[in-house]
Amino acid sequence: MYKILIAFIIISGCLGSNYPSENGTEIEAPQESSQEFTIEVIGEEKIGDFGKIKDIVLVTKEIHAHGDEYSILQAKYEWKSEMYMTGAIRRMYPSDKSIIPLAPPNNYYTEAFEWIKENTPEDAIFISWWDYGDLIRIFSQREVLISDPCDSLRCMETVNDDQKDVFRYEDNKKFEDIQNFFTSNESEAYKISKTYEASYIFITYEDFAKSWAINHIKGTNNPLQSFEIELTGDKKTDSKNISNELSKFGGSAYFIRAYQENAIVWFLYPEDVRNIKQNILLNLLPLKILPDNLDSRVFLDRFELVYTDQDDYICIFKVN
């Protein structure tokens, strides 16, 4: 039941004007001030090659945002004759002068990317939410369907101000198909994967939180809810407390990730569990369905789980 979360900084983020609270509802983000927001490129540095990707460049940008001042690092690279720019690799404040090498966000990613390189064909195509596209290309040397957001209003509401000037922006039709993939049933998702000859699906624990953005862009309700609970350090006590809290919320399917002092529990209400096969993302995420702790992934027919780590942080499925 316990799972350890390693802190990390992801290359591309999905943040927006609203975000889930600990009880799963959306609350308004703090209002921005009317002060000027500016971005300026202050330096570029070549950091070398990553396999097929040559001369990756680290770009440093200075941000003045509503009374705050900081810098961000991004990576610029060429893939199949097209130029891409990742989202923020790292945010730095004026006192932080360090430069970090380009690396996967944490060991979960490192292990998954090594597995991909060793166990999938070089012409494999991956479906993932757009945040992970650059990571998969750079560190796994595999193609992805999308690695940038689209330019629709709903999509832009899920992107930070300091990210909006960096993306290439995807073709709206392809982005729409990816939205449909993650919000449709398995049969429709399978058809979309075959349309693009995609052979693998890449899912991470972070997709629990990002499900709000996926559904927001699509204009659908997000069935995933969450609550946070303080841990005592005694496993039996904590297990009982989590179980009681889950019962109080009426959760019928759940996933727990424990930190040192607290745990976040993602869950579904009974009515959403009954419709779980209508939403492929709920089948791909590692949910346990009560009362028998049935794994939600057993319902899949077209997508086979071929890789996961001990904490179910990253899951890779093969399209059959």
* Average pLDDT for 307-318: 97
Query: Per-residue pLDDT tens for 196-215?
Result: 999 999 999 999 999 998 99
Q: 198 and 120 in one domain?
A: yes
Stated as kind and residue range, the H or E segment containing 295 is strand 294-295
| pLDDT classification of 97: cutoffs 50, 70, 90 | low
Q: 183 and 50 in one domain?
A: no
Query: Per-residue pLDDT tens for 246-284?
Result: 999 999 999 999 999 999 999 999 999 999 999 999 999
Q: List C-alpha distances in Å: 13 to 190, 207, 221, 232, 274.
A: 26, 11, 21, 32, 31
Q: 163 and 43 in one domain?
A: no
Which of 42-51, 84-93, 94-103, 131-140 is predicted most confidently?
A: 131-140
Chain mean position to CA 190: 20
Least confident of 11-25, 277-291, 305-319: 11-25
Query: So what's the pLDDT on residue 47?
Result: 86
Residue 243: closest CA among 234, 269, 252:
252
The CA radius of gyration of the chain, in Å to the nearest whole number, is: 20
Q: List C-alpha distances in Å: 234 to 242, 246, 248.
A: 12, 18, 21
Q: 39 and 21 in one domain?
A: no
Q: 151 and 283 in one domain?
A: yes
Position 169 pLDDT exceeds 90: no
Given the DSSP bridges, would you call strands 225-230 and 143-144 parallel, antiparallel or unpaired? unpaired
- Indicate the average pLDDT of the chain: 84
Query: So what's the pLDDT on residue 99?
Result: 61
Tell me which amino acid residue 137 is: R
Residue 290: closest CA among 318, 249, 248, 254:
254
Query: Per-residue pLDDT tens for 14-55?
Result: 333 333 333 333 334 334 444 578 888 888 989 888 888 989
Instruction: Specify whether the CB–CB gap between 14 and 20 falls below 8 A.
Output: no
Instruction: Specify whether the CB–CB gap between 234 and 28 falls below 8 A.
Output: no
Q: List C-alpha distances in Å: 201 to 47, 78, 266.
A: 29, 23, 21
Q: 181 and 276 in one domain?
A: yes
CB atoms < 10 A from the CB of 215, how many? 19
Instruction: Specify whether the CB–CB gap between 202 and 136 falls below 8 A.
Output: yes
Domain count, the chain: 2
| pLDDT classification of 165: cutoffs 50, 70, 90 | low
Q: 226 and 155 in one domain?
A: yes
Q: 200 and 179 in one domain?
A: yes
Strand partners, 308: 315
Q: Cα–Cα distance between 55 and 138 in angstroms, integer?
A: 12
How would you list the strands of the sheet with 314-319, edge to edge? 143-144, 125-127, 200-204, 314-319, 303-308
Q: Answer with the one of 84, 101, 118 that is the final residue of a domain.
A: 101
Q: 16 and 61 in one domain?
A: no
Q: Answer with the one of 45, 80, 101 that is the final residue of a domain.
A: 101
* Average pLDDT for 163-173: 73
Give the dihedral sign, CA 147/151/154/160.
Answer: positive
Domain that holds residue 287: 1-31+104-320
| pLDDT classification of 91: cutoffs 50, 70, 90 | confident
Give the CATH number for residue 216. Answer: 3.40.50.12610
Q: 215 and 84 in one domain?
A: no
pTM, entire model? 0.84
Q: Cα–Cα distance between 180 and 239 in angstroms, integer?
A: 36
Buried b / exposed e over 1-13, threshold 16 CB at 10 Å, is eebebeeeebbbb
Query: So what's the pLDDT on residue 100?
Result: 63
Tell me which amino acid residue 221 is: N
Q: 227 and 178 in one domain?
A: yes
Q: 143 and 46 in one domain?
A: no
State the number of CA atoms in the 13 A half-sphere of 195 facing the CB.
Answer: 14
Q: Answer with the one of 77, 101, 125 that is the final residue of a domain.
A: 101
